[in-house]
Amino acid sequence: MSRESLLSYTLTARYGDAVVLRGVSGTLARGEIAALVGLSGSGKSTMALALQRLLQYRGGVAEGSIVLEGTELMGLSGRGMRVVRGRRIGYVPQSPGLALNPKVRVRTLLQETWRAHEDRRMEPGFAENVLGRVQLPGDREFLDRHAGELSTGQGQRLLIALAILHGPSLLIADEPTSALDAITQAAVLRLFADLNRESGTAILFISHDLLSVAGIAHRVDILHEGTVVESGPPTKIFGEPEHPFTRALVEAMPRRP
């Protein structure tokens, strides 16, 4: 399976003296779903932020190279980077309770996200359509709700809707299912797979949960102590894990009683 390259990166990241990513490098092809799996504290969220050059807002520093569709993002100005964020890279953060501003209405969140990259007004029905794609109601009552009034599942779907609003070529999802119950989790995972199939959006799916991502990822990267120790299709990761850490991870997976 050879596809056109979308993203390639080499990243080193640190907070003060603590180095979190040690020259992690990887690539992502157009339309590919890659899962980045590691334990908590292995630098997964750092990676998600560093790829969007947002790490400085968390007090971190990232160095290296991020090439997206032929553009070196590390060389872009703040303004240039703002145009990339939301339009070419969509970001689905974890825990909607924190990532959605509780005092802002759903309608306003959609409008502001739209306005960030478009001068013309949102077409009528557009918001309803996007909400429909993530299986949220698009009626007036829902649009008028404040984000603080949504359930966790609805919030997570709304975060996905905001991330895909401008049809980005890359979606970075950071533990998008970790706050959800098992059934909602499965539904959201299916949603990502559908989005990928329908619009060809490449997804970098970051998770601690090997089992949940295995079903939708084309490739799994195992992140351990700041580097990718093993990479391959899910069947290989599960069938013949090579690195001791990967083996430990696979063995630790829950089994049917």
Partner 1 sequence: MWKRLALIFLLLVGTSALLSPVIAPFSYSEQFRDSANAPPGGKFLLGTDDMGRDRLSRLLYATAVSAVLAPAAAALSVLLALLACAFPGLVVGGLTTICLSIPWIFLFIILRAELPLNTDPSISVLLTFALMGVAGWAGPARVFSGSIREMMESGWMLQARSAGIAGWRIGLVYAWPHLRSVALAQFRVLAPVYILAEASLGLLGLGVAEPMPSWGNLLRDLQHPDMVRQNPAILAPLLLLMLCLLAIEAVAVKTHEKEVFR
By the criterion CB under 8 A, which residues form the site for partner 1? 49, 52, 54, 57-58, 82-87, 89, 91, 93, 95, 98-104, 108, 112-113, 115-117, 159, 162-163
Q: Please check whether residue 19 is in contact with residue 226, taking contact to mean a CB–CB distance below 8 angstroms.
A: yes
Paired with 230 in beta bridges are 222
Measured from the CB atom, is 117 or 208 closer to partner 1? 117
Measured from the CB atom, is 107 or 243 closer to partner 1? 107
Pull the structure tokens for residue 242: 């090579």
CA neighbor of 118 nearest in space, from 156, 167, 74? 167
Taking the complex as a whole, the smallest distance from the CB of residue 100 to partner 1 amounts, in Å, to 6
Q: Phi and psi (nearest 5°) for 52? A: -100, 5
Taking the complex as a whole, the smallest distance from the CB of residue 65 to partner 1 amounts, in Å, to 20
DSSP annotation of 122: P
Taking the complex as a whole, the smallest distance from the CB of residue 38 to partner 1 amounts, in Å, to 20
Measured from the CB atom, is 52 or 207 closer to partner 1? 52
Measured from the CB atom, is 167 or 244 closer to partner 1? 167
Q: Three-class SS of residue 54?
A: coil
Taking the complex as a whole, the smallest distance from the CB of residue 68 to partner 1 amounts, in Å, to 14
Taking the complex as a whole, the smallest distance from the CB of residue 82 to partner 1 amounts, in Å, to 5
Q: How far apart are CA 91 and CA 102, in angstroms?
A: 18
Measured from the CB atom, is 108 or 135 closer to partner 1? 108
CA neighbor of 129 nearest in space, from 161, 167, 171, 88? 161
